[in-house]
Amino acid sequence: MPLERTQESGVRSQNRGPAVHLDKLVKRFGDFVAVDNVSIDVAQGEIFGFLGPNGAGKSTTIRILCGLLAPTSGSATVGGFDVSTQPEDIKKNIGYMSQKFSLYDDLTVQENIEFFGGIYGVSDEKLPERRDYVLKMAGLEGKRSALTRELSGGWKQRLALGCAILHEPPILFLDEPTSGVDPIARRNFWHLIYELSGAGHTVFVTTHYMDEAEYCHRVALMYGGRVIALGSPAELKTSLGAGHLLNLESSNLLGAMAALENKPGILDVAVFGGGLHVKVDDPGAAIPAIYKILQDAGIHVMTLDSITPSMEDVFVGLIEKEEEKKAA
Amino acid sequence: MNLRRTRAIFRKEMLHIIRDPRSLVAALLQPLIMLMLFGWALSLDVDHIPAYVYDQSNSPQSRDLINAFQGSRYFSVTEVTSYHAIEQAIDKRQCLMGVAIPPDFAKQLGQKQPTQVQLLLDGSDSNTASIARGYAESIVALYSGQLQAPVQTAMGNSPARVSAEMRVWYNPDLLSQNFIVPGLIAVIVMIIASNLGALTIAREWENGTMEQLLSTPARPSEVAFGKLFAYFVVGFVDMVIALVVGVFVFHVPLKGSVLLLLVSSCLFLFGSLALGILVSASFRTQLLAYQMGSFISFLPAFLLSGFIYSISNMPRVIQFIALFVPARYYMNIARGIFLKGLGVRALWFELLLMVFYCVSVCYFTTRKLRQKVA
Amino acid sequence: MIRKEFIQALRDPRMRSMLFIPPLLQLLIFGYAVNLDVDNAKIAWMDQDRTPESRELLSQFQGSGRFNIAGFPDSERAMQKMMDGSQVDAVVRVLPGFGRDVVRGRATAVQVLVDGTNSNTASIVSGYASQCIARFSNQAMQKQQKTKMYAATAESGPVHMSMPSVDSRTRVWFNPDLRSRNYFIPGVIVNIITLVTLSLTAMAIVREKEIGTMEQLMVTPIRPPELILGKTLPFVVVGLWDMLLVLAAALLLFHIPFNGSFWLLLGSAMLFLLTTLGAGLFISTVSQTQQQAMMATMIFFQPFFMLSGFTFPIRNMPQVAQWLTFFNPVRYFMEIVRGVFLQGSGVEALWPQMVALAFFGVTILWLSVQRFHKQLE
């Protein structure tokens, strides 16, 4: 579904600095620290992924950036405007899609679009053009007078995204936009995000789907309110700490796991899909050693290859490291 | 306040109202049911009180007295033949009052002696009973006076008779409908405020759309006023129905200015809807908002506003609380315009309070919404 | 199952407070606010005569204990303003020449201008005012009689003087002080039981529907009658508990006389609960959400309550409305409660109402159970 470039020429930003800038941002709810000293810069046009388990502080951060919550300390700017002092200016320059589907169920597709058009101040002359663009982008041309509650999850997400970009905001905040949507709809959705980024929108997106992180230009990993890793997916994978990953397939996975655990040169063993992921210091020395150990244990090895870690490996690895730190 | 954004919210809210016919019907049905009940069925006016008479004298004199009771529209008389029958009828609630005329009634009167009739009253319903008692005692007193007059004149006396010349102002037929229907408008407005207004923001919180709305440039005042205007349309329709039915179906006299009535009703409606929205913004679940809405808008309007029960009879503490019930002041306005034909000059204080009510509630509503943003 | 309901009802703090706070709050508000007595009518005294006789009339009004003189307007305009502003319930106007007429023994009149806006207050106030004036009239007459008699005795020795008169001796049964509180508070008990059991039943079932545990329950081997029994029985207990609570408060706080049998009241309440639980069950079948259940409860409840004779006597209603009230179970329970409280009536007087309650209770419950059943399937 290619989009016409010309329609995207409207995306503009007077701001020459980073699209989103967080400086030592802190948010406390009573004793609970939801966001702990977070500093990030997001460049214009970037797709920035915000990863982390539930309760890591992703949504809180996004809410602060959208002007829905006031930070406890630290500062942040969005499109050059300060979140504490200029929330009204920020709201004109962003599009926000919240975690929960939040359009009006009892309004039709077109009515929802027109409502948000009115709220975002899209002029009457411009609204039909924007409406048609959004309908086309979301693929809802044939359903404009359908009640929103009758749409399936994927359509709803696209409509919600459409409503968030009606006013051509330079910056988009998407809070877990694809939760509860089937894989095909998710892929289509990311396709849209790419196009928006290509057209100059900055996209700030949270997710807990690790495969989605691969689509981002850069990701930040959040855990316990803090950013524990920041970089492009490729950078994060290589910086996984000392260690390489081997994929091992065997007919007796549990036996293999028991045999390999706590052996010299082997950092970690974990079940992954139909095989084991084995983390080692030096693959050159480890591969023959593993073969030997398993042979001694009478376990047949089907394959043993060196692989690049997935984001999930990175994620799990980093969090385990954090937890060890906490325990120590 | 940006008019375009307010208009967008207004339109959206109208669509919600249209798309949810069940709530709309509920909001319109309840007032109509009340209007029917109060206009047609319910009345405190006492007449045709069933009275049983046990005439032991059975003389022309006692017949005269019974005729006096029969001639009054307040009593419908049944004659019985034993005292016990009266007692039984009162026990079974077949009659409210018994009149027992003693056997020597005619004889005593013939000898120009004082005599007595006994009135037996079921006091359970104290209101009806005290009205019945008043009527009955004055019938007896009147009869007594009639007996004395010829005797006095015969004796060459001119007795100083002082009579009461009763004039009833504003509601000469003493119809309780005329009293209740104007007040009912206040109750209806409050029902709409608690049934529709109190839910509107709580629903957006429950559905997560409030967060979406807050991330847009829409300001709290625009959200509040967009919603207010939408419910105002519904409330206005409801109010006009109540007025038209009151005037044309139940023939409540409308002596004052229709324009003044409409203006003050709109003020009250606007303020009350804003109050509903304030409640809604304070409680994030619809259920709680509905309960609190009923508790702070509908209940006081019904009980503490003088709608049926006069405030001056209540204990001091409750009278003090009633000072803060806006419906009470609106009721003064509505009744004043309807029955007394009052104008701005007599009602300026209440009107001023209505304006104050509107402005202050709107202010608190926008402030409450703003707090939730931060 | 029943135990689960009890535990649930008691664990939820909102429910727990529902058991205590609304009944007592209602009793307090209704108990103090609902009152049709006119204890102290505010009147304005407009004396255009200013003679000893007019002052005597004033003291007659003041001494009656029923009037509160709120002002002495001296002009037509001032009086009009007091009436328009609802500052007074009535104006008594003594016209010039009143004193002279009384002294000379001429018939005269006192004007009483009553604000008829509140027709009920107006009838009571005008009754009080006529009584005061009649009393004044009698006293004036007797005084003249006495002076005449003195004159007569002085001239020609004692004269036998007598006058025919009829006096009424009024005896008020059941509520001798004619306090409307005695009449209303028993009614409030009916109100509270109805509202609490009706809304709790409807809400409890709809809540299960809303959060989806109803489906969970239906896949268990529990049978519909057991389900219904388990759902409703706790509210029978709650309803009776509320009744006892309010009853105690009525007796201790408001000193309402209780002349009848407690067990009769309790038995009738149980019969009545059949109706409210059935109606609650019915509301739960027509509502999808708790909020709808709440609104439906109010819409149901109001006409039934209004047409029960609580404030507005059934006798005053148009004939058609009176017939309608025969189909109103609340009416029967209202009659029983008031009968038991004020008249001390027993079964021999109240059995028709009890039969009616039982009939409506069983019918409504049966129909609702049928409907509920169908919905489960």
The string of pLDDT tens digits covering residues B236-250 is 988 898 899 999 999
Q: Are B4 and A121 in contact (CB < 8 Å)?
A: yes
A152 exposed, middle or buried (CB, 10 Å; 0-12, 13-18, 19+)? exposed
Neighbours of B208 (CB within 10 A): 15
Percent of chain B at pLDDT exceeding 90:
23
* A66: its two tokens: 């959208």
Largest pairwise CA distance in chain B: 97
Q: Closest Cα partner for B56 from B84, B90, B76, B75?
A: B84
Q: Is the pLDDT of residue B12 over 50?
A: yes
pLDDT band at residue A210 using 50, 70 and 90 as cut-offs? confident
* C164: its two tokens: 């025919």
- Classified by CATH at the fold level, domain A241-308 comes out as Alpha-Beta Plaits (3.30.70)
Nearest Cα residue in chain B from C324: B41
Nearest Cα residue in chain A from B220: A88
- Best B22, B126, B318 member to test C by mutation, with max C CBs in 10 Å, is B126
Q: Is the pLDDT of residue B100 over 60?
A: yes
Q: What is the CATH number of domain A5-237?
A: 3.40.50.300
Helix (H, G, I), strand (E, B) or coil at B97: strand
The conformation of residue A200, written as its DSSP 8-state character, comes to: T
pLDDT band at residue B155 using 50, 70 and 90 as cut-offs? low
Nearest Cα residue in chain B from C103: B160
- Phi/psi-derived region of residue A88, left when phi > 0, alpha when psi is between -120 and 50, beta in every other case: alpha
Q: Is the pLDDT of residue A3 over 60?
A: no
pLDDT at C359: 93
Contacts of A158 (CB under 8 A, 6+ apart): A137, A138, A139, A140, A188, A189, A192
Neighbours of B117 (CB within 10 A): 23
A106 Cβ under 8 Å from any chain B Cβ: yes
The conformation of residue A17, written as its DSSP 8-state character, comes to: S
Q: Is the pLDDT of residue C108 over 80?
A: yes
Measured distance CA(C29)–CA(A72) in Å, rounded? 45
**In this predicted model, what pLDDT tens digit does every residue of C302-316 receive, in sequence order?**
888 888 888 888 888
Average pLDDT, integer, range C57-74: 89
pLDDT at C370: 83
Q: Is the pLDDT of residue A219 over 60?
A: yes
Q: How far is B8 from chain A (nearest CA, A)?
A: 5
In chain A, CATH 3.30.70.100 sits at 241-308
pLDDT at C122: 87
Average pLDDT, integer, range C231-244: 83
Q: Is the pLDDT of residue A311 over 80?
A: no
Q: Is the pLDDT of residue A2 over 50?
A: no
Average pLDDT of every residue of chain C: 82
Residue scoring higher pLDDT (B350 or B113):
B350
Among A103-117, C21-35, C217-231, C270-284, the range scoring the smallest mean pLDDT is C217-231
**In this predicted model, what pLDDT tens digit does every residue of C250-260 receive, in sequence order?**
888 888 888 88
Domains of chain C: which residue ranges? Answer: 15-35+181-376, 41-142
pLDDT at A9: 38
Helix (H, G, I), strand (E, B) or coil at B22: helix
Q: Which ipTM value was assigned to this complex?
A: 0.79
pLDDT at B268: 94
**In this predicted model, what pLDDT tens digit does every residue of B125-147 receive, in sequence order?**
888 888 888 888 888 888 887 88
Among B146-150, B234-238, C5-9, C77-81, the range scoring the smallest mean pLDDT is C5-9
Q: Report chain A residues whose CB lies below 8 A from the CB of B214.
A: 67-68
Q: Is the pLDDT of residue A191 over 60?
A: yes
Among A24-38, B147-161, B226-240, C199-213, the range scoring the smallest mean pLDDT is B147-161
Q: How far is B338 from chain A (nearest CA, A)?
A: 41
Percent of chain A at pLDDT exceeding 90:
5
Query: In this structure, which CATH number among 2.60.40.10, 3.40.1710.10, 3.30.870.10, 3.30.420.10 belongs to the domain B49-154?
Result: 3.40.1710.10
pLDDT at C329: 92
Side-chain half-sphere CA neighbours of B31 within 13 A = 34
pLDDT at C156: 55
Chains A and C in direct contact, meaning 3 or more beta-carbon pairs closer than 8 angstroms: no
pLDDT at C28: 81
Q: Is the pLDDT of residue B159 over 60?
A: no
Residue scoring higher pLDDT (B151 or B134):
B134
pLDDT at B145: 77
Asked if residue C163 lies in contact with residue B112, where contact means CB atoms within 8 angstroms, the answer is yes
Interface of C with B in 185-204 (CB under 8 A): none
Q: How far is B42 from chain C (nearest CA, A)?
A: 6
Measured distance CA(C300)–CA(C298) in Å, rounded? 5
**In this predicted model, what pLDDT tens digit does every residue of B304-342 receive, in sequence order?**
888 888 887 788 888 898 899 999 999 999 999 998 888
**In this predicted model, what pLDDT tens digit does every residue of B259-283 receive, in sequence order?**
999 999 999 999 999 999 998 888 8
A114 Cβ under 8 Å from any chain B Cβ: yes
Q: Report chain B residues whose CB lies below 8 A from the CB of C34.
A: 303, 309
Measured distance CA(B282)–CA(B368) in Å, rounded? 7
DSSP result, B267-316: HHHHHHHHHHHHHHHH-SSHHHHHHHHIIIIIHHHHHSSSSSS-GGGS-H
In chain A, CATH 3.40.50.300 sits at 5-237
Q: Is the pLDDT of residue C186 over 50?
A: yes
Q: Is the pLDDT of residue A1 over 60?
A: no
pLDDT at A6: 36
Q: Is the pLDDT of residue C172 over 90?
A: no
- CA dihedral sign of residues C199, C202, C205, C208: negative
Q: How far is B69 from chain C (nearest CA, A)?
A: 13
Q: What is the CATH number of domain C41-142?
A: 3.40.1710.10
Q: Is the pLDDT of residue C367 over 70?
A: yes
Q: How far is B192 from chain A (nearest CA, A)?
A: 21
* B212: its two tokens: 């979406």
Q: Report chain B residues whose CB lies below 8 A from the CB of C144.
A: 157, 159-160
- Best B10, B11, B215, B222 member to test A by mutation, with max A CBs in 10 Å, is B215
A91 Cβ under 8 Å from any chain B Cβ: yes
pLDDT at B54: 93
pLDDT band at residue C10 using 50, 70 and 90 as cut-offs? low
Q: Is the pLDDT of residue A137 over 70?
A: yes
Average pLDDT of every residue of chain B: 85
Interface of B with A (CB under 8 A): 2, 4-5, 7-9, 11-12, 15-16, 19-20, 207-209, 211-219, 373-374
**In this predicted model, what pLDDT tens digit does every residue of A233-254 receive, in sequence order?**
888 877 765 567 788 888 888 8
Residue A12, H or E segment: none
Q: How far is B271 from chain C (nearest CA, A)?
A: 22
In chain B, CATH 3.40.1710.10 sits at 49-154
Contacts of C150 (CB under 8 A, 6+ apart): none
Q: Is the pLDDT of residue C264 over 80?
A: yes
Neighbours of C362 (CB within 10 A): 14
Helix (H, G, I), strand (E, B) or coil at C290: helix
